[in-house]
Structure 1
Amino acid sequence: MKRSIPLWPLLAAAALSVAVPAAAQDKVVNVYSSRHYQTDEKLYRDFTKATGIQVRLIEGKEDALIERIRNEGANSPADVLITVDAGRLWRAEELDLFAPVKSQVLDNRLPASFRHPEGKWFGFSYRARVIVYNKDKVKPGEITSYADLADPKWKGRICVRSSSNIYNLSLLAALIHHWGEDKARQWAKDVKENLARDPKGGDTDQIKAVAAGECDVAISNHYYYVRLMNSDKPEDKKVVEKVALVWPDQNGNGTHVNVSGAGLIKTAPHKQAAIKFLEYLASDQAQAYFAAGNNEWPVVSSAAYRNPALASLGKFKADSLNVSVLGKNQALAQKIYDQVGWK
């Protein structure tokens, strides 16, 4: 069923696309972002201070913004889309929303594994998909890999969110690449059989379920754990005391990682300003802000960040797989989850 589009976004889009002199257009960049962090606001202000280019921000949910740009078509005022997870960047790519960018700054600053091979989008911070366990129920070193989650010893002991969630789709997409379709399907089937309950809630709910004894092990993005570490709530502190975190696959391909990223919209009315904005996101200063917003790591190794809780997790071996593969294998990942009955 086709989703109806409210009138006010269309009026706003029309207002943003009113013809103005070329010189004035160069001083504006229209950013559609699914990120809602105070650190991003500081980043935008500093970009304007450094370049004189004003940032016009439109915020919304990830998939809703992608759909909005698609519906706006050639008249979209959007210059840049910022969103989370390579899977969503891939969805925008599949809708032909992005234009490839050729930039020595981006090529030199950003690791190849964190950007699209053709420059259609770029990752600017990254997160890890980790395993969290109950310290009273699981011994250190007892579980060390994603493959371990399929072991029958964990039957009735695992919590995880829905298979349709983009984070789980991207994880399985990576496993499909590394293991092949058949082994990945068997893994999904075995993990589904080991669940303590039907998938429900978000990653924070899985961590809290482990602490409460509803299950012994859970899969989560690392920053949900860090948020609990940084919380002032006594109940959150108790959760952190009861659980521990594992970097999976340190003796193999490395822990699965994903990105928050951005790309240039194909119909961008301010292309040069948009490219300058993307290049600014790769600067050390912007990297620190971009990563801090969601307790993630900068993709640029020289960028410093101040996050004691995140730093306390230590270093780990990350999977070097190019994150664009996560989108390409997304449909197959969902098909496998559906086949094995992972809700």
Structure 2
Amino acid sequence: MSLRITAAAAATTIALLAAAPALAAEVNIYSYNQSERMQPLFDAFTKETGIDVNVAYVEKGLIERLKAEGARSPADIVMTVDIARLAQVAAAGVLQPVEDARLTAAIPAAFRDPDGLWYGVTTRARVVYAAKEAVKPGEVTTYEDLADPKWKGRICSRSGLSDYNLALTAAMIAHHGAEYTKGWLKGLKANLARRPQGNDRAQAKAIWAGECDIALGNTYYIGQMLSNPDEKQYAEAVRLDFPHFEGGGTHVNVSGIAMTKAAPHRDAALKLMEFLVSPQGQKIYAEINNEFPLVKGVEWPAFMKEWPKFAPDSIDLMAIAKNRPEALKITEEVDFDG
């Protein structure tokens, strides 16, 4: 009798579990990007899949945190906005390779790790902000030209040690070697109108204020400023010129995604990665970050359609990441920020 009761109770329990709704799946993200603008992207993913997204913004110590957590890490995904950071996370041994037909079909080989450790999602270009009245269209054609004495006292820049400027310097090394790049940095420094300071927004503001005529800046900052009533006038004071390297294209960097080695919710994490390279995910990601989608056929955000078309540089992104230590060394040797 006891066995019959136990069996009946077990059968009832199984039936109840089968009838109950499954626990909601989730995916946990460690992100360098401290931006509330990302929420619409995650909301769209949750609406489509029923998978909740939890984000922890980890600006510093992300690699150390993942190493310390080891196999117990709650993180499934790492999201970051610079090739150097992607390469550093990959080299730290805290990621797992992802082989997925949708990802490899959607993202060009130049914008993903050859071993599947990370995938680019969108790109941004490092271009010239030019004063509309003081600089004629076509005056700035190459990055090399920024060291020409004709620009003496006319250039503004953020710190040469910023990730974005170091990436540009690393790309210059890839094109011309370290010695040339050191001379180029010296020439660029000699042309500065003021000591390097502020972020890219500050450079547009300086142009608006008449402190300089041109500056280096990322494309997406223009979109951010245009949507901010307090900064819109700064963005409207500049024209975007898309220079290129001699013998190359326009310097671009990447926003990317990778799966952690621990990934306790691997299936949900893979669904998020696939969503980010879908037409819907690409459109939302590009619009909220004012960046260029990587998937063919996805339209640029409306205001970006007015910008000139450009050819991205063909230098391998991993070569840029590899040259970053040398770029840092050269920048410090010429005392660019001094």
Question: Shorter-chain-normalised TM-score: which range?
Answer: 0.7 to 0.9
Match of residue 38, structure 2, among 37, 40, 43? 40
1:45–1:241 Cα change, 3 Å? closer
Query: Is 2:124–2:292's contact at 8 Å kept on the other side of the alignment?
Result: yes
Match of residue 278, structure 2, among 262, 270, 283? 283
Where 2:316 maps in the other structure, the secondary structure is: coil
Query: Is 1:230–1:309's contact at 8 Å kept on the other side of the alignment?
Result: no
Paired position in structure 2 for 1:11: none
Instruction: Confirm or deny that 1:322 pairs with 2:316.
Output: yes
The separation in 1 between residues aligned to 2:36 and 2:64, in whole angstroms, is 25
Paired position in structure 2 for 1:3: none
Query: Is 2:120–2:256's contact at 8 Å kept on the other side of the alignment?
Result: yes
Q: Larger radius of gyration, structure 1 or 2?
A: 2
Paired position in structure 1 for 2:100: 103
Cα deviation, 1:37-61, whole Å, max 9, x if unaligned, reads 5553233233233333332222342
Cα deviation, 1:287-334, whole Å, max 9, x if unaligned, reads 1111112111111022235x3222221321111323222221111110
- AA aligned to 2:30 is Y
Instruction: Confirm or deny that 1:87 pairs with 2:87.
Output: no
Query: Is 1:26–1:273's contact at 8 Å kept on the other side of the alignment?
Result: no
Paired position in structure 2 for 1:142: 139
Which deviates further from its counterpart, 260-269 or 68-77? 68-77
Calculate percent identity across the aligned residue pairs: 44
The separation in 2 between residues aligned to 1:251 and 1:316, in whole angstroms, is 14
Match of residue 164, structure 1, among 161, 166, 180? 161
Query: Is 1:112–1:322's contact at 8 Å kept on the other side of the alignment?
Result: no
Paired position in structure 2 for 1:6: none
The separation in 2 between residues aligned to 1:224 and 1:41, in whole angstroms, is 19
Query: Is 1:121–1:261's contact at 8 Å kept on the other side of the alignment?
Result: yes
Instruction: Confirm or deny that 1:223 pairs with 2:217.
Output: no
Where 2:68 maps in the other structure, the secondary structure is: helix
TM-score (norm 1): 0.86
Paired position in structure 2 for 1:17: none
The separation in 1 between residues aligned to 2:268 and 2:106, in whole angstroms, is 19
The separation in 1 between residues aligned to 2:153 and 2:83, in whole angstroms, is 31
The separation in 2 between residues aligned to 1:250 and 1:339, in whole angstroms, is 23
- Displacement of 1:227 in angstroms is 2.4
Unaligned runs of 5+ in 2: 1-21
Which deviates further from its counterpart, 148-157 or 266-275? 266-275
Paired position in structure 2 for 1:52: 50
Unaligned runs of 5+ in 1: 1-23
TM-score (norm 2): 0.87
Paired position in structure 2 for 1:342: 336
Cα deviation, 1:226-250, whole Å, max 9, x if unaligned, reads 22333334xx444344322110018
Q: What's the RMSD between the two structures over aligned residues?
A: 2.2
Where 1:220 maps in the other structure, the secondary structure is: strand
The separation in 1 between residues aligned to 2:238 and 2:269, in whole angstroms, is 43
- Displacement of 1:339 in angstroms is 1.1
The separation in 2 between residues aligned to 1:166 and 1:25, in whole angstroms, is 41
Written as runs of structure 1 = structure 2, the 5 A alignment for 1:122-271 is 122-233=119-230, 236-249=231-244, 252-271=247-266
- Displacement of 1:279 in angstroms is 1.4
Paired position in structure 1 for 2:15: none
Match of residue 28, structure 2, among 22, 25, 30? 30
The separation in 2 between residues aligned to 1:108 and 1:185, in whole angstroms, is 39
**Number of aligned residue pairs:** 317
